[in-house]
């Protein structure tokens, strides 16, 4: 452009030199033309530079916008994206149904709400001959007419349902107020559907207890789900949504459900234990509610004990030493269900013994930690003042464990031999009985009694001659106390076994036997057991 301007000026100068001799008005016209060309050239040069700057600015902006757009994910259809993600999360469940439907509920919205319902299914039982999940199978059988009939046996299927509602399409606060499950008044519909959160749910088959809850929300949808607790837990963890139900409280609320193999209860206990200390405040509130309602919060204490944290152990120990029987017994029961003991629970084990509510378990915990000396005073106290035969029996066993670890006595085997040897023909279901019509009833009884004595003589001798007199007394008392309400057990058999027990007591060292019987009677807290002991003592001649 500048070169062209230069050439134009050069030509004008030549022309000017040629017309210097022209009249003044002609020269003036030529000079004016030259000035106009200069102005046009400058304007043209200026416009070109601004356009170049604009081109550069536009290019830079385009590059920036292009970069921003390239960072955005290509999500396609949000519903399809959710379906694909749920399929991965819930494997081996398979997406078997995906439908869109309108929900009309004035409690949620003044207009129809578009929703999407996705159903995921899987067979859940396994045949004994295979490790794979059972599938639908065809079987052939013969009908009454002798014809071969093919029947399709459907495999049991467990289902999980997820409902999506666009964010902003419903009043979420109102929906969450409708969290209590309700059923239709129509009897036919009760088996098919139920309502929760203002949504109608189908009662699809579910292997375990069906839990229906609000999972939370993301940019596009509110998520609601109905499935067993393990599926609900997976959805909460994998989908990572906002503002859903409190997962800890959900686990606590379902601790008391008893379904197949106690699956829901066990799952909730295990997961709560993994939540550790953050779950403790809510567990404590649940414990207080149950105790107030005079119920035993065993599952709650088990979750606490399984946490194995200082705070959880402290709460369990505090409950075990409480005067409130609901707290104490629940803590004892929970600790007894632990797979392994813990030194942090020594206060609980000690209280199990001192309260006499779990003598054997508490004592064995101390013995496993090789600190038996801590419990000997407690065991001696129980032996000196037993409140029941059961207490005395447990304390006696622990005393011999401490005194002679690994000791094997003849009492248990001898007891079993006697109980079996006293059974006569005809006293077992479907067994025959031979009766000599020429033998009187008295003569027959004498003959059979003699045979009984011959069969049990060796076993009786082993009990009577055993060095552990206290165990021998307890073995004899077990026979003397024996009773069965089962009508299949012969009354005559029970009487014979009772009499053998009393006969053994008569042959045991008198001083020690009498001392034990007197203690059991004096300190016993059961009127019924005390009366029985007094009767046995009299029959034994003490």
The structure's pTM equals: 0.75
Q: Is 404 helix (H, G, I), strand (E, B) or coil?
A: coil
Mean pLDDT (the chain) is 83
Give me the phi and psi of 166, to 5 degrees please.
-55, 140
Name which residue leads in pLDDT, 186 or 346: 346
Q: What is the model's pLDDT at position 225?
A: 96
CB atoms within 10 A of CB 183: 14
DSSP type of residue 358: S
Least confident of 45-49, 170-174, 219-223, 226-230: 45-49
| Alpha helices (runs of H) in 387-490, residue ranges in sequence order | 389-403, 411-421, 441-465, 469-481
pLDDT at residue number 129: 40
- CB-based contact 108:130 (threshold 8 Å): no
d(CA 396, CA 380): 9
- Residue 297 in 3-state DSSP? coil
State yes or no: pLDDT of 11 exceeds 90: no
Complete DSSP assignment for 178-235: T-S-B--SSHHHHTTEEEETTEEEE----SS--EEEEEEE-SSEEEEEEE-HHHHHHH
Share of the chain above pLDDT 90, in %: 59
What single string gives the DSSP state of each residue in 248-293?
HHHHHHTTT---GGGHHHHHHHHHHHHH-GGGHHHHHHHHHHHHHT
Between 77-91, 317-331, 351-365, 434-448, the lowest mean confidence (pLDDT) is in: 434-448
pLDDT of the residue at 128: 42
276: left (phi over 0), alpha (psi -120 to 50) or beta: left
Tokens of 466: 């055993």
On the question of pLDDT at 84 being above 90, the answer is yes
Q: Where are the alpha helices (DSSP H) in 276-405?
A: 280-292, 298-307, 310-320, 325-336, 346-354, 359-368, 376-384, 389-403
pLDDT band at 291 (very low <50, low <70, confident <90, very high): very high
The alpha carbon of residue 390 and the mean position of all alpha carbons in its chain are separated, in whole angstroms, by 34
Q: What is residue 154's DSSP assignment?
A: P
171-225 pLDDT per residue, tens: 899 999 998 988 888 888 888 999 999 999 999 889 999 999 999 999 899 999 9
Please tell me the least confidently modeled range out of 18-22, 274-278, 418-422: 18-22
Name the pairing type of β-strands 193-196 and 148-153.
unpaired
Distance CA 134, CA 154 (A): 9
């Amino acid at each position: 452009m500048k070169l062209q301007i230069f050439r134009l000026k050069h030509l004008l100068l030549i022309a000017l030199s040629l017309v210097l001799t022209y009249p003044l008005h002609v020269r003036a016209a030529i000079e004016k033309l030259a000035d106009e060309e200069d102005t046009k050239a400058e304007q043209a040069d200026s416009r070109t530079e601004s356009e170049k700057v604009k081109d550069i600015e536009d290019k830079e902006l385009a590059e920036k916008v292009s970069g921003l757009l390239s960072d955005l994910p290509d999500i396609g259809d949000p519903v399809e994206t959710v379906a694909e993600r749920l399929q991965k999360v819930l494997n081996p469940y398979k997406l078997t149904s995906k439908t869109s439907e309108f929900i009309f509920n004035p409690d949620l919205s003044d207009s129809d709400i578009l929703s999407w319902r996705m159903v995921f299914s899987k067979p859940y039982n396994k045949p004994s001959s295979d490790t794979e999940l059972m599938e639908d199978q065809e079987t052939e059988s013969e009908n009454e007419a002798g014809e071969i009939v093919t029947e399709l046996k459907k495999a049991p299927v467990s289902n999980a349902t997820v409902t999506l509602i666009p964010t902003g399409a419903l009043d979420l606060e109102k929906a969450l107020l409708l969290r209590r499950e309700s059923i239709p008044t129509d009897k036919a519909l009760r088996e098919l559907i139920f309502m929760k959160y203002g949504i109608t749910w189908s009662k699809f088959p579910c292997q375990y207890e069906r839990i229906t809850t609000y999972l939370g929300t993301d940019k596009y949808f509110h998520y609601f789900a109905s499935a067993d607790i393990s599926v609900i837990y997976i959805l909460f963890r994998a989908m990572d949504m906002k503002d859903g139900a409190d997962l800890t409280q959900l686990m606590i609320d379902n601790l008391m459900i008893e379904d197949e193999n106690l699956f829901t209860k066990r799952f909730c206990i295990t997961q709560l234990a993994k939540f550790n200390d953050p779950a403790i405040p809510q567990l404590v509130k649940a414990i207080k509610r149950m105790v107030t309602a005079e119920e035993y919060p065993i599952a709650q204490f088990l979750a606490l004990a399984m946490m194995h944290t200082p705070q959880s152990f402290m709460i369990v120990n505090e409950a075990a030493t409480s005067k409130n029987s609901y707290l104490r017994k629940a803590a004892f029961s929970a600790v007894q269900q632990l797979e392994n003991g813990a030194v942090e629970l020594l206060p609980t084990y000690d209280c199990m013994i001192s309260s006499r509510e779990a003598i054997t378990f508490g004592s064995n915990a101390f013995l496993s930690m090789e600190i038996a000396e801590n419990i000997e005073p407690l065991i001696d106290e129980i032996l000196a003042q037993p409140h029941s035969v059961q207490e005395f029996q447990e304390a006696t066993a622990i005393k011999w464990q401490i005194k002679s670890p690994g000791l094997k006595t003849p009492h248990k085997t001898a007891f079993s031999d006697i109980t079996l040897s006293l059974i006569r023909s005809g006293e077992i279901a479907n067994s025959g009985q031979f009766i000599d019509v020429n033998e009187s009833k008295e003569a027959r009884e004498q003959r059979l009694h003699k045979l009984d004595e011959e069969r049990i003589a060796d076993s009786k001798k082993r009990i009577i001659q055993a060095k552990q007199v206290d165990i021998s007394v307890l073995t004899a008392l077990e026979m003397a106390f024996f009773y069965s309400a089962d009508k299949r057990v012969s009354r005559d058999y029970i009487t014979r076994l009772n009499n053998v027990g009393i006969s053994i007591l008569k042959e045991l060292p008198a001083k020690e036997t009498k001392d034990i019987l007197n203690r059991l009677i004096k300190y016993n807290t059961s009127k019924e057991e005390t009366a029985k002991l007094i009767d046995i003592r009299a029959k034994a001649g003490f």
